[in-house]
């Protein structure tokens, strides 16, 4: 094929279509009309001899050929972007960027006050958009929709740059008048108490919890399971602040 006869703008169309999996959203992203994007998809199908996106009960789904093309097209466009963009250093004081960060409410409450104080001094026009783990996925990071993810991860893609921010240890939070404090604090009294489970680990975890699925409950319950023991979890929540408020109750 003579590449000089190929409209390379179609690669931009394909990149956005495979990311959005929706003709209307792809058109809005590029600032063109839906008919124009539909025409672009038709030309792409002719170019590659493949439907690329097919309509299913779950929406538009990429074909096997499209799945193979997606990382190649993204790499090509990334190289072109680097070639044509003027190389200038990031000017924090003038920047008006919106940085999107995934963090649990716990990580957010620990870090953001300090981060904001620093930003006010060094990048006063920058905006932070903090999302919860259930709002996003690893794919959002790969596709540039998310700038940073702050959390505890059991697994993370090898292509991701990662850094340990801080290390913590397990502790029990309870009301000072909780009856458990009148007894020796042992494993037995710990397990007899009523517990609150809270977790915002991973990405896209906005699903219900099965109390019998020990592995998904986390490290504490996995360790107890290996000992043949189990704790009494009364409330499952995704918010650390709620867990703290509930722990104020005497039991």
Write the CATH number for 122. 3.40.190.10
pLDDT of residue 200: 60
- Can you give the pLDDT at residue 205? 52
Same domain, 9 and 79: yes
For 112, list phi and psi in degrees, rounded to 5.
-60, -40
Q: Bridge-partner residues for 101, per DSSP? A: 130, 148
Is the overall model pTM greater than 0.75, yes or no?
no
From residue 182, give the alpha-carbon distance in Å to each of 165, 189, 221: 37, 10, 25
Task: Return the pLDDT at 188.
Answer: 92
Last residue in a domain, options 69, 84, 99: 84
Name the pLDDT band for 181 (thresholds 50, 70, 90). Answer: confident
Domain boundary pick from 27, 57, 84:
84
| Average pLDDT score over residue span 159-179 | 86
> What is the three-class DSSP state of 241?
helix
Compute the mean pLDDT over every residue in the chain, rounded to the nearest whole number. 84
pLDDT band at 135 (very low <50, low <70, confident <90, very high): confident
pLDDT category of residue 214 using cuts at 50, 70 and 90: low
Residue 43 pLDDT level (bands cut at 50, 70, 90): very high
CB hemisphere CA count around 141 (13 angstroms):
19
How do strand 59-62 and strand 53-56 relate by DSSP bridges? Answer: antiparallel
Residue 103 lies in a domain: yes
Report the CATH number that the domain containing residue 16 is assigned in CATH: 1.10.10.10
Residue 206 has pLDDT above 60, yes or no: no
Within a domain: residue 173? Answer: no
Domain, as residue range, for 134: 89-166
- Has residue 172 been placed in a domain? no
Task: Report whether pLDDT(126) > 80.
Answer: yes
Instruction: Reply yes or no on whether the pLDDT at 208 is more than 90.
Output: no
The per-residue b/e assignment along 215-235, b for 16 or more CB within 10 angstroms, e otherwise, is: ebbeeebeebeeeeeebeeee
Q: How far is C-alpha 191 from the geometric centre of its chain's CA atoms?
A: 33
pLDDT over 70 at 215, yes or no: no
Report pLDDT for 228. 92
If asked whether residues 67 and 100 sit together in one domain, one would say no
Q: Is the pLDDT of residue 134 over 90?
A: no
Helix axis angle, 240-247 relative to 105-122, nearest 10°?
120
């Amino acid at each position: 094929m003579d590449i000089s006869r190929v409209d390379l703008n179609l690669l931009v169309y394909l990149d956005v279509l495979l990311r959005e999996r929706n003709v209307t959203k792809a058109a809005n992203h590029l600032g063109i009309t839906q008919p124009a994007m539909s025409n672009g998809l038709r030309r792409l199908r002719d170019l590659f001899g493949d439907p690329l996106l097919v309509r299913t009960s779950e929406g538009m789904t990429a074909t096997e050929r499209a799945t193979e093309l997606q990382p190649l097209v993204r790499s090509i466009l990334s190289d072109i972007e680097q070639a044509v963009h003027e190389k200038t250093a990031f000017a924090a004081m003038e920047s008006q960027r919106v940085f999107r960060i995934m963090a649990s409410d716990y990580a957010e409450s620990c870090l953001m006050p300090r981060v904001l104080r620093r930003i006010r001094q060094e990048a006063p026009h920058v905006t932070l958009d903090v999302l919860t783990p259930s709002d996003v996925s690893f794919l959002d990071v790969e596709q540039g929709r998310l700038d940073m993810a702050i959390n505890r991860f059991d697994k993370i893609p090898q292509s991701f740059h990662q850094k340990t921010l801080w290390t913590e240890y397990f502790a029990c939070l309870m009301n000072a008048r909780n009856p458990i404090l009148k007894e020796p604090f042992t494993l037995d009294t710990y397990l007899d108490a009523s517990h609150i489970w809270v977790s915002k680990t991973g990405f896209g975890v906005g699903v219900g919890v099965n109390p019998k699925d020990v592995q998904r409950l986390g490290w504490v319950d996995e360790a107890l399971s290996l000992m043949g023991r189990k704790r009494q979890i009364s409330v499952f929540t995704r918010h650390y602040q709620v867990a703290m408020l509930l722990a104020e109750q005497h039991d």
